[in-house]
Structure 1
Amino acid sequence: MPEHILIIGAGLAGLTCARTLLRAGKRVMVLEASDEIGGRVRSDYQDGFVLDRGFQVLFTAYPAAQRQFDYRALGLCAFDPGALVCEGGRRAVLTDPLRDRDPWALLGAALTSVIRPDDKLRTLALALEMRQTTVDELIAAPDEPTETYLQQKGFSQAAIDRFFRPFYGGIFLDRSLHTSARCFRFNFKMLSDGQTVVPARGMGALSQQLAAELRSAGAIRLKTQVAALMTDGPQVTGAMLADGSRFASDAVVVATPAPEAARLTGLPMPEAHVGTVTLYFAGDVPVVPDKKLLLHSEPDAFVNNAVQLSNVAPSYAPPGAHLLSVSILGVPPFDDDELFARAFADLQRMLVGNHEALTALRTYRPLRLYRIPYSQFAQPPGIHPTLPDNATGRPGLFFAAEFTEASSLNAAIISGEKCAEQILRMPSGMA
């Protein structure tokens, strides 16, 4: 069994793998190229605001998250179920009657004509079906595009376009709904089975919690760029750093995004990907009183979704201030000023007719934005059985990254767990 393991990358997968190995008594060292751990799950702190690097949430029903995180220590703050659909000067409440305890939201959702009554009943039936189906059963089911799956379930095109396209477009970062129905079913179940939350100190608190024991053990090195893997014949024996120094180890775990993993290993990786831009605005008063997502369902929407994050988690803004998060799908070729201006104009279009909301919006100023060209690898139907394994087939080389499972926080953690299990099962000298 390998005794000294090198992990390249300090995202959720790498940290999960490293902590599992550390707890098993192994010597581990995590090398991270950037100035802090977390990968894409990081938070910045600016003028009293908490700014996640991209709009992200945690589903409390994630099985792997339940195994790895101490929820009580994270100070979780919950979104309200459902969403506010903005279209043609109207805002309609849609919600989950199985989870929403707000009588006004339930009444509004029952009365809205944005979604037909039969579509509301189909959504309720699907939620009940997902609650009664195990994750393993969902994964084993036949795969097809999400839009095809919804059509087969009898949903009208209006429901698909007005709700599912912007809502799951915000999850998959692709409004086409060509994403695998396997991903849709899993996310729908997670939404139905638990809450959607953020930690009080930002999504980066997840990474920090995973890293705490590793930091105490001195097992993380930041600002350490790996130039290449070291080999002895077919055996991977460590890593050469950009400064020319070397780290020898019994096993190397590559826990980076797919493009960097392909550079280091030369092995095939999923290449197609999707990106996003997250913009933060700071203001004096809440634009809306809700803890729900605002969805822009117009087909020419620039903003896909927005949320008053300081309503969900007051700790995301300093006293007397409020934080609005805005998500754009893809990475448009505009400078910062143009992105903020276009997003602000689209927010005004979403809120047209709501004098109070528009008055509040005028108090908002651009705070910061994040361009994330590689947010997820693309997940068309049938991709998951083709993804790389944790064990690469090369002696001493392993993967711990979402690209071995699926593009989600839960999948990244699972990959880290599986990688550690593979290493721990190996006989001595067989890495």
Structure 2
Amino acid sequence: MLEPAYQADVVVVGAGVAGLWAARRLTNAGVTTMVLEAAHGVGGRMTTERVDGFRLDRTGQLLTVPWTSWPASAAHPDPRRATALDGLVLRPFAPGVLVHSDGRRHRAGIPATARGARGALHAVRALAGVPRPAPAPRNRAGAPPGAAGRARPVPDAPPPARLDRYRHGGRQFGIVAPLRLRAELARLADTPVERLLARPELPAGQALAARGLPARTVDGFLRPLLAALLCDPDLTTSSRCADLALRAFASGRLCLPEGGAQALPELLARTLPPGTVHTGVRVTSVSTNGVTTAGHGEIRCRAVLLATGARAAAELLPGLRVPDFHPVTVVHHTTDEPPPTGACLLLDADRGGPVAHTAVVSRVDPSRAPAGRTLVSSTVLGPPPADVDTVVRGHLSRLYGTSTARWETLAVHHTAEAVPAMRPPHDPRRPVRLLAGLYVCGDHRDTSTVQGALRSGRRAAAAILADLGAAGPMHAADPLPTARAA
């Protein structure tokens, strides 16, 4: 019998950042790829809702740059990859964080090596394996030739304060032991990743207690910071993953994608050949040589990559491990009078309410709010209280030291399975190749971060290319069959 004709070399199920990044690497290698997404837009959990001119993220995960948790792979010979993320703009928070403790806000700043949006963009390229372009020639005034009239890049924030300067109202910040904390974070920033991954593994909370730092340092700064970075209020995450998060924080900056979290997956989708991504297509079953869809019949291929969330992947392929998850609730408010915290991330060390961290997001990224309006986004970790908006308003009033009675609630987004848990023992390099022709990627195969999702997509694409032996263009993809009427 003749083998049925393939409609594509690879079918990617799911249009989150992991699947889109894998699809880009495959198409650059000449492998015809079809991305199928059940929703009507790309992004998965990295989606942004638009309400009355505001752009509201659903999960609000923080990005830490430079993304150097793992060394980038060797540069790909295809020069087109150098422009994969050129359109991404990252807006940095003010250096360090604000910590609310004992009824007061204290500034905690650390040195940053990735300065401004340009350094953050180079860090994203490094994570994804994209070579950093050579610096452009500059004239004697320090500007690129012909720079007159061009749009200026996002200016860098003011130079960060040294880590040992924790001041509020001219007095020394007494929550942490500045010199010891500075030394600890500097040591983490300089420690090779492989050495961190070889450390004994404990829950992060237990590992912090065993570090020998003062209790007020741990409870007043490190615990709330790690809870925000890991979306884990109880710090049950693997201490190795916590060390990686602290390492990235100590050597980089907290950032947000300009225009909302969905800007990254939308950018990746635009870099794919036209007709690669198909939304509104629900896959009901998978095999090593094809997928079955709810409305478009069977699609034949040479390999299938599951790039969905962990639970959806296990429903399509029973036997895959489904981890526990950290629920996240994001509450968005607007007000005419912004709180006086600037572009800082505000953490609650007292645990005086449900809000783990909050920020005047429109000060970080002005594109997320209409002109003259303020967007305040607050994150609740763990199960939310019954009357979440009322309780959050009361907590925000204490954190910001201002009345929230006249604040307008724009949206309350609750995601029960927002972030896969990384409890010990946790393998951040879980296999992406299940068997020849069937692969899986996503943050549940790596670390539960945007960085981890991209890394897993890169690993899955490499495994597919190795199995297919792709060295050039293979065949043209057929168009997706027309949906049948119900």
Pair in the same fold by TM > 0.5: yes
370, 378, 381: which one aligns with 2:424: 381
C-alpha spacing 1:43/1:139, structure 2 compared with 1 (3 Å): same
Runs of 5+ consecutive residues of structure 1 not aligned to the other structure = none
Q: Which residue of 2 aligns with 1:47?
A: 52
Residue 104 (structure 1) shift: 11
Q: Identity over aligned residues, as a percent?
A: 28
Residue 346 of structure 1 deviates from its aligned partner by: 1.0
- Equivalent-residue separation in structure 1 for 2:112 and 2:454 (angstroms): 28
State the superposition RMSD in angstroms: 2.5
Out of 344, 348, 366, the residue aligned to residue 314 of structure 1 is 366
C-alpha contact 1:278 1:325 (8 A) present in aligned 2: yes
CA–CA distance in 2 between the matches of 1:66 and 1:317?
35
Displacement of 1:135: 2.2
Residue 110 (structure 2) aligns with: 96
Paired letter, 2:434: T
Check the 8 A contact 1:65/1:413 in 2, yes or no.
no
Matched, 1:115 2:164: no
Is 1:22 aligned to 2:27, yes or no? yes
Aligned to 1:293: 345
Please point out which of 237, 258, 266 is paired with 1:208: 266
Q: How far does residue 195 in structure 1 lie from its aligned partner after superposition? A: 1.9
Alpha-carbon deviation of 1:137?
2.4
Q: Give 2:443's match in structure 1, choosing from 372, 386, 402.
A: 402
Cross-structure match for 1:349: 398
How big is the shift at 1:169?
1.1
State the shift of 1:383 in Å. 1.8
**2:354 alignment counterpart:** 302
Contact 1:138 1:182 survives alignment (8 Å): yes
Identify the range of structure 1 (218-227 vs 59-68) with the bigger mean alpha-carbon deviation. 59-68
Say if 2:280 is the partner of 1:239: no
Q: Deviations over 1:170-196 (max 9, x none)?
A: 222222222111111111111122222
Aligned pair count reads 409
State the Cα deviation string for residues 72-92 of structure 1 (Å, max 9, x = none).
Answer: 532321101222222332222
Report the Cα distance in structure 2 between the residues aligned to 1:98 and 1:76, rounded to whole angstroms: 15
Offset, 1:428: 5.5
Aligned equivalents of 2:262, 2:218: Cα separation in 1: 33
Identify if the C-alpha distance between structure 1 residues 61 and 267 changes in structure 2 by more than 3 Å, giving closer, same or farther.
same
Contact between 1:226 and 1:239, CA under 8 Å: does it hold in 2? yes
Whole-Å separation in 2 of the counterparts to 1:305 and 1:91: 13
- Distance in 2 (alpha carbons) for counterparts of 1:150 and 1:107: 21
CA–CA distance in structure 1, aligned partners of residues 203 and 340 of structure 2? 34
Q: Matched residues in 2 for 1:202 and 1:71: separation?
A: 15
Indicate if the aligned counterparts of 2:67 and 2:248 stay in contact, CA closer than 8 A.
Answer: yes
Out of 307, 324, 334, the residue aligned to residue 272 of structure 1 is 324
Matched, 1:37 2:42: yes
Query: Which sits farther off after the overlay, 105-114 or 51-60?
Result: 105-114
- 1:50 & 1:124 partners in 2: Cα distance? 36
CA offset digits 1:111-147 (Å, max 9, x no partner): 344414xx32222112211222222322233222222
Task: Specify whether residues 62 and 428 from structure 1 end up closer, same or farther in structure 2 by C-alpha distance, changes over 3 A only.
Answer: closer
2:53 and 2:377 mapped to 1: Cα distance?
15
The change in CA–CA distance for 1:365 and 1:34 in structure 2 (over 3 A counts) is same
Correspondent of 1:370 among 386, 407, 413? 413
Give secondary structure in 2 for the equivalent of 1:392. Answer: strand
User: Secondary structure of 1:260's match?
Assistant: helix
Q: Would you say 1:199 and 2:257 are equivalent positions? A: yes
CA contact (8 A) 1:308 1:323 kept: yes
Structure 2 residue runs without a partner (length 5+): 1-5, 74-80, 114-157, 471-486
